[in-house]
Amino acid sequence: MGEHPRTLTIDAAMSRALELAARGPAHGPNPRVGCVLLAPAPHGTGLPDGASPDSLDPHPRAVLAEGYHQGAGTPHAEAAALADARARGIDVTGATAVVTLEPCAHTGRTPPCADALVAAGVAEVVHAVDDPNPAATGGAHRLRAAGVRVVRGLRAAEGEELLRVWLTAVRRDTPYVTLKTATTLDGYVAAQDGTSRWITGTAAREHAHRVRAEVDAIAIGTGTLLADDPALTARVRAHGAASAEALAEHQPLRVVVGLRGIPPTARVRGPGGELLHVLSRDVSQVLGRLAEREVRHVLVEGGPTLATAFLAAGAVDELHAYVAPVLLGGGRRVVGGLGVATIADAHRFRTVEVRRVGDDALVVSRKSVEGRVG
């Protein structure tokens, strides 16, 4: 893992663990998790099982090792930290493990982390967020059964925010849905003749591709496929090139929704992510198919028919609205009818970020907790 801080309080160790977790990939079926192993508590200062995070030992301790999860099939954060300790020749008996997510208790691609911590002789585990995954939960119970003291909820809000997408998907067993739109100032996605390239500028399109590289799947309707023939790839600027682009390392699943066929020469059949054609117009069926494939985050890119369907179904968790300083005065709207007759029935979101992207603006909004939600 390279160099790490020499000493940290438990609270600061959780901040470090959150920082480590954020280094892991945002895409994939597994959560981003970080772990810091601290030296044993001085005699008599260890916490009782179930203690409040507010009563944690405020004194700095030596950092023994650390680790984070680097993606599906790689060691979990706790296992990575234990491996870091072994590589350094460090005995972690009696140590405190500070972890962003409750250690898992199931055997998947890797053994249970709770068992690994017990086997290593760890005496205390402090975690930020309880694991909601029914297949993995129970780690805290297994630790306690083995005599390990467990404290939960340290920096829980920060842990929840880091894992927001994954937690949402796992808790309800359907993917987190981000809807992307790119419109003119007056709300159009295409001119009256159907042309739409390019409403937004280069910087906005590059940002959109960086988002694609962080999601598990991109979805469009068959109408958009036939009209625009998109490749649905995540592209990045090639190293050392002013304008050339290359495929990003991670390519999301390409999802086409609708009953019409995909032409054999369509660009979605070319290099990029796997192609999935969902022969349905039912949003719940689409999300169900994606959940079966462990898709945690799907980016819905259009067109207006698919966007309207997801909004009308109340399935959109987050909006990425790119707005260009362009006026058309007519054309195709970004969203069709939503059955809203009065302002009280409006689909409301809360703005979490407004960013200038080149000459365009990006407004990021999330599902509102009050009133009717989109």
Q: What is the mean pLDDT of residues 67-92?
A: 93
pLDDT of residue 370: 46
For the chain, what is the radius of gyration of the CA atoms? 23
Asked if 7-169 and 174-367 have one fold, the answer is: no
**pLDDT band at residue 71, thresholds of 50, 70 and 90?**
confident
Sheet holding 149-152, edge to edge: 7-8, 61-68, 34-38, 96-101, 124-129, 149-152
Burial degree of 226 (CB within 10 A; 0-12, 13-18, 19+): middle
- CA-based nearest residue to 131, from 220, 198, 69, 41: 69
Q: What is the DSSP letter of 373?
A: B
Would you say 256 and 276 are in contact if contact means Cβ atoms under 8 Å apart?
A: yes
pLDDT digits (tens, 9 = 90+) for 126-138: 999 999 876 656 8
Q: Which residues are catalytic?
A: 78
pLDDT at 244 exceeding the cut of 70: no
As given in the structure block, the two tokens for residue 150 are 């467990």
CATH fold of 174-367:
Dihydrofolate Reductase, subunit A (3.40.430)
Measured distance CA(113)–CA(197) in Å, rounded: 49
Would you say 76 and 69 are in contact if contact means Cβ atoms under 8 Å apart?
A: yes
Would you say 139 and 113 are in contact if contact means Cβ atoms under 8 Å apart?
A: yes
- CA-based nearest residue to 307, from 213, 224, 215, 208: 224
* Lowest-confidence segment of 155-164, 184-193, 198-207, 315-324 by average pLDDT: 184-193
Q: Does domain 7-169 have CATH number 3.40.140.10?
A: yes
pLDDT of residue 329: 86
pLDDT of residue 357: 94
What is the pTM (predicted TM-score) of this model? 0.89
Burial degree of 100 (CB within 10 A; 0-12, 13-18, 19+): buried
Q: How far is CA 329 from CA 26, 87, 121, 256, 338, in A?
A: 39, 65, 69, 30, 22
pLDDT of residue 242: 55
pLDDT of residue 372: 39
pLDDT at 5 exceeding the cut of 80: no
Q: What is the mean pLDDT of residues 235-252?
A: 77
Q: What percent of the chain has pLDDT over 70?
A: 91
pLDDT of residue 243: 58
pLDDT of residue 307: 92
**pLDDT band at residue 94, thresholds of 50, 70 and 90?**
very high
Q: What is the three-class DSSP state of 312?
A: helix
As given in the structure block, the two tokens for residue 123 are 């005496």
Give long-range contacts, CB 8 A cutoff, 24+ apart: 272-280: 272/231, 272/232, 272/233, 272/247, 273/217, 273/218, 273/232, 273/233, 276/217
pLDDT digits (tens, 9 = 90+) for 143-192: 999 999 999 999 999 999 999 999 999 999 999 999 999 999 988 888 88
CA 175, 181, 187, 189 dihedral sign is negative
pLDDT of residue 267: 96
pLDDT at 195 exceeding the cut of 80: no
Domain spans in the chain, listed from the N-terminal domain onward: 7-169, 174-367
pLDDT of residue 241: 52
Q: What is the mean pLDDT of residues 10-36?
A: 95
pLDDT at 51 exceeding the cut of 90: no
pLDDT of residue 47: 67
pLDDT at 369 exceeding the cut of 80: no
- CA-based nearest residue to 183, from 321, 69, 337, 91: 321
pLDDT digits (tens, 9 = 90+) for 261-311: 999 999 999 999 999 999 999 999 999 999 999 999 999 997 889 999 999
**pLDDT band at residue 44, thresholds of 50, 70 and 90?**
low
pLDDT of residue 332: 83
Give one DSSP letter per residue of 231-286, joined into a string. Answer: ----EEEPTT-SS-EEE-SS-PEEEEESSSPPPTT-GGGSSSS-EEEE----HHHH
pLDDT of residue 345: 76
Averaged pLDDT of the chain = 89
Measured distance CA(124)–CA(341) in Å, rounded: 56
**pLDDT band at residue 374, thresholds of 50, 70 and 90?**
very low
pLDDT of residue 115: 93
Give long-range contacts, CB 8 A cutoff, 24+ apart: 277-282: 281/257, 281/309
Q: What is the mean pLDDT of residues 242-267?
A: 90
Buried b (16+ CB within 10 A) or exposed e, 74-99: bbbbbbbbbebbeeeebebeebbbbb
